[in-house]
Structure 1
């Protein structure tokens, strides 16, 4: 962020994106849509936009209008252009975040990092416990399936044995065709 000769603040794209809580690509898109609607930005000799307080306010208004139902980005940009022409936009409410507030101290970062590492370790421990429980559950399920298979095989074997016994008794009680032929001859 720097100042021009009128002592009015001029912001670069990353400062404005931070102020408006937008991604840089979204800011570029919004600025381009406003520009297509007739809004004029300050540009340097390379064509990069510089944002004054009035530009930040206009972008805020675009975001506010765009959030309304049934409002497209182009319609919102046209509404902002009408608003800008009607209103004398003054440079207020653009310094929500002081430049030094965007950065944290080394100690704060180390504390944050330690908290993150602690949380990661807790997640790792939880994952290990869940894996152990899954292994126990799978072992229990395998044992149940093995028991069921054994019971099923026993039932099948008993059924086969019963069928053999029934067939054997039927053979003894009913003489077959050849036995009937030989019994008659006697």
Structure 2
């Protein structure tokens, strides 16, 4: 046991108490039974097994020290120690450890359920956002394709327009050259005709 802590004292099994006091496990049980006949109540789990606190260990240590003195019996030693520790006895109205453990489990399960629910909601939100991002990416790709097609058509139109303009300019230039030659030929004919 040796590990329940928090607002409660640490609890130890009979074997752990025996090791700390350097006595037999059966001796710990014997001490506990005599204390109980005198009205002392120990922590018990849901199966009825006793659990001991640091205070109980200190109490048993005093009994061991007292009974090692000549003429002191175990019962006498326990009766001498009880008044000192009776305030530390567990009264029947105190909630037992198993109930406390159940409450702790219940609270823990509630919190775990809340966390699992929050995690599921978060995963759903992430999935929704991922789908929105995919949709926006698709729209962006379509827009890019539209812009690229528009740019390609615009560029083709500009090139076509440039070709047409170039052809027009070439025709204008050719007709101007032809007109200039014709004028020059006419001048040359009249100049020869009139001697100028």
Please tell me the TM-score bracket, short chain as reference.
0.3 to 0.5
> Which structure is larger by alpha-carbon Rg, 1 or 2?
2
TM-score scaled by length of structure 2? 0.41
